Structure 1
């Protein structure tokens, strides 16, 4: 089976759980029970795992998260390898608004419109909305940002009663920890329900 490259876009004041949740889920997903068991014992993840997770920032420089913890990315958006899946996490509204004004990043996201999946977590939907890719599609975000998202992007059908929303190759999810649900949903879509259930059990998450 194809090993998918998953790129997570980071930026200053991003919420840690928005990206760390999906990163852990996808990185710890294994192809079978035997490989899943090995992930609990080996220091290094198996090279056969179905998802390779990497992080990106605009410049490749270290960023400071919303909680003040600093993170050094793997790549900048210019030297990123080809991606199969792109994840756009969220953060405080002022932080995501800054990204929506960064045309270089917005264009970079738009250029990935034909990859297998583009996903947003929490207020990352606000960034995705700026690209126009959500126009005419269903989406969701953090419950406190639903009204803001709908007012800013009236062409988007914003849903308030869904934790994960899948429309075309776009997947959006609610606030913060919903990124874990979204990642498990991705695992189920790509590898099947048993793999998703196995991964959820590994991280002791009620899926």
Structure 2
């Protein structure tokens, strides 16, 4: 099975769990039980891991998360590697509205419309909504942002009371911790239920 390159978009005031949850799930997913065990003991992740996870921002300058913790992206959108999976995390309304107005980032997202998967966490759906890639598709977001998403992008079929929505090559998820569910769903789609369940045990998380 080929290794998937996963890029997680970062921006100022992004919510940490929105991106760190999926990052941890995918980074700690292994091809088999032996590799899974080794990943818990070695300092460095095994080169054979099925997902290689990067953080990407508009520039490589350190960003400040919603909680104030600072993170330095691995790449900028100008020098990032080609991706198989793009994850767009959410943040407070003012932060995602700023990204929606950033045509450089929006155009960069649109360029990825034909990759294996584009995934959103929480209000990251609001950012993806601006690209038009969600038009005519089912999607979800944080429960407090459902009406906002409907009103701003009426062509999106916004669903409530569901953690993960998959439509075409787009997977959206609800608020904050739902990004973990989304990443596990992604593991199941690509590698099978048994691998997703093994990853659940590794991170001690209950998956549906």
Given the alignment of the two structures, is residue 84 of structure 1 paired with residue 108 of structure 2, yes or no?
no
Q: Corresponding residue for 2:43?
A: 43
Structure 2 unaligned spans of 5+: none
Q: 1:101-137, CA deviations, whole angstroms, 9 ceiling, x for partnerless residues? A: 0000000000000000000000000000000000000
Q: 1:45-97, CA deviations, whole angstroms, 9 ceiling, x for partnerless residues? A: 00000000000000111000000000000000010000000000000000000
1:27-106 equivalent positions in 2, closer than 5 A: 27-106=27-106
Given the alignment of the two structures, is residue 203 of structure 1 paired with residue 203 of structure 2, yes or no?
yes
Q: How far apart are the structure 2 equivalents of 1:134 and 1:183?
A: 19
Given the alignment of the two structures, is residue 140 of structure 1 paired with residue 160 of structure 2, yes or no?
no
Q: Corresponding residue for 1:26?
A: 26
Given the alignment of the two structures, is residue 123 of structure 1 paired with residue 129 of structure 2, yes or no?
no
Q: Corresponding residue for 1:176?
A: 176
Q: How far apart are the structure 1 equivalents of 2:108 and 2:39?
A: 33
Q: Corresponding residue for 1:167?
A: 167
**1:189 Cα deviation from its structure 2 partner:** 0.2
Q: Secondary structure at the match of 1:195?
A: helix
**1:162 Cα deviation from its structure 2 partner:** 1.1
Structure 1 runs (4+) deviating above 6 angstroms are: none
Q: How far apart are the structure 1 equivalents of 2:73 and 2:52?
A: 14
Q: How far apart are the structure 2 equivalents of 1:54 and 1:99?
A: 19
Q: Corresponding residue for 1:187?
A: 187
Q: What TM-score comes out, normalization by structure 1 length?
A: 1.00
Q: Compute the RMSD of aligned alpha carbons.
A: 0.3
Q: How far apart are the structure 2 equivalents of 1:167 and 1:154?
A: 17
Q: What TM-score comes out, normalization by structure 2 length?
A: 0.99
Q: How far apart are the structure 2 equivalents of 1:59 and 1:42?
A: 31
Q: How far apart are the structure 2 equivalents of 1:63 and 1:41?
A: 30
Q: 1:20-69, CA deviations, whole angstroms, 9 ceiling, x for partnerless residues? A: 00000000000000100111111110000000000000011100000000
Q: 1:166-201, CA deviations, whole angstroms, 9 ceiling, x for partnerless residues? A: 000000000000000000000000000000000010
Structure 1 unaligned spans of 5+: none
Q: Secondary structure at the match of 1:91?
A: coil
